[in-house]
Amino acid sequence: MTATTSHPNPNPAPLRVAVLVGSTREGRFAPVVTEWIKGHIAQRADLSVDVVDLAETPLPTVLPDFGQAPPAATQEALALVSPRLAEADAFVFVTPEYNHSFPAALKNAIDWHNTQWHAKPVGFVSYGGISGGLRAVEQLRLVMAELNATTIRNTVSLHNVWGLFDEERAMRDPQSEAAAKSMLDQLTWWAQALREARNTHPYAA
């Protein structure tokens, strides 16, 4: 009997990356940062991008009792977000730092979901003043570990972000450009490996 050798698909479907926009504050800088990282993702043939803006798709802040179905209006709001997270192979969180942590809207969106995060990688693009949102990312790593997600070691941290973009919203800083590529390279590796693992062995939390 001749042994057969399996070969990987030479043209796998692009990995689906959901970019979550964590800030819902009026006058937020998040759209500038989001468009920038979205542009990096869109340049890659191995990735596709879906921006989930929590200001445009707000979720209720009152969660149902355990085991109870949410009311119809809540289900309608979730229907605009939950299927997109379930379909994603990877996530990028775009977040500022609020009071040494990350925005409440982002935590709310995380808490509304569970299995959607399982065995998927999460990359971070944080921004702000001198800290660049790093403390928000450290808090998010703890939260996402609890939800069986894998957080990417390399992050994009935009310090004093308001000076990094020109009048046309183009990035001025080559180091930030390099950081975005490095983070997405790692995210892609993990997303591919974990997608193959999920397809072979469904994840059980």
Which region holds residue 86: left if phi is over 0, alpha if psi is between -120 and 50, else beta?
Answer: alpha
pTM equals 0.93
Looking at the structure, give the CATH architecture of the domain made up of residues 15-59+72-199.
3-Layer(aba) Sandwich (3.40)
pLDDT 10s per residue in the chain (205 long)? 455 455 556 668 999 999 999 999 999 999 999 999 999 999 999 999 999 999 999 999 999 998 899 999 999 999 999 999 999 999 999 999 999 999 999 999 999 999 999 999 999 999 999 999 999 999 999 999 999 999 999 999 999 999 999 999 999 999 999 999 999 999 999 999 999 999 999 999 8
- The answer to whether 76 and 16 are in contact (CB under 8 A) is no
> What is the C-alpha to C-alpha distance for residues 135 and 147, in angstroms, rounded to an integer?
19
User: Which pLDDT value is given to residue 63?
Assistant: 93
Coil/strand/helix, residue 74 = helix
pLDDT at 148: 98
Classify residue 98 by its DSSP letter: B
What tokens were used for 61? 């802040």
- Say what the pLDDT of residue 62 is: 94
Q: Is 153 helix (H, G, I), strand (E, B) or coil?
A: coil
- Cα–Cα distance, 125 to 94 (Å, whole number): 5
